[in-house]
Structure 1
Amino acid sequence: LFVFLFHGTAFLTLRLAKTSLILRCQEVALKTGAIAAIFFVLCMAMTLTYTDLFTKPVAAVALVGAALFFIMAMLSMKLGKGKASFLLSSAAIVATTVAFFAGLFPRLMVSSLNPAWSLTITNASSSPYTLSVMTVAAGIFVPIVLIYQSWSYYIFRKRVTAKDAEEHY
């Protein structure tokens, strides 16, 4: 939650035009970033203690990389570099996701009752017919979503100013 709050405020520093609002976003980002760092360390300690995630080298390296990316994102925010902060927090989120997927593979969900009952990729996969239908559906709808997203980013590409807010009242 706090990592994503930091990430959102880093994004706002890129979207806002008024300097006072950008400075407020930077303050909020640094506060939420400090809380996020504490919870991230707690998460890593609990992951090391209660799971076997760190036994896979890719997962361990990705988690350490995520921590380094996030620290660099906070330093960038402190220096007032919103774009670098946003990109580094994005990298931290991606690295954390990679770490957990790599560490869990081939499991999707670990059973707390018996590790043999864990949900794996094999026993969670769909039938060949379902996969065929979903491939066709994805082939149709993914381009539509990508076109819509591209259009949305194009429309909202400029920084938000006070004039923009006045025009919509």
Structure 2
Amino acid sequence: MKRNSFIFVITSLLVLLITGCEMEELSKEKEQIQRNSFNGYSKYWSLNEYELKIEDNEIFAGNGELQYKAEGNITDYISFKMIAVINDEKVELQGMKNVSSVSNFNNIETGSATQEIPMIKGEEIRLTDIDDYYGIIEWMSSEGKRKSEKINTF
């Protein structure tokens, strides 16, 4: 009888230990999946510490910083969009326009946007469903020419 009780106790402890480890792993994975911060770059621009986060039924995008990498100034217009590609569909997560008399566009805050989680093929997305995300930036050069670049993320 003592032997059966001992085996039962040891088995129960092993099950609790294994279950606890799996729960901790799932919790870490869920936390990692629900929040993502990244950087990006293009020829003339860098994007730093841009956040994507899913909480409850909302997706949050923003709080990044754009920096113009080239020498010289640009004119007083800039437009920025963050795009996610999910199952070959493009979803705009956030957009901002900045018109200012300031001609130095270093360290521009991207702002942020919160929206209801988009439905793709009848299902709410998760961060792991996003195949790609990138920024599109447009600005006017000092020569008055409209320029546009894709900011690849990593």
State TM-score, norm by structure 1: 0.22
More helix by share: 1
Q: Which protein shows a greater Rg?
A: 2
Structure with a larger share of its residues in strand: 2
- What TM-score, normalized to structure 2? 0.24
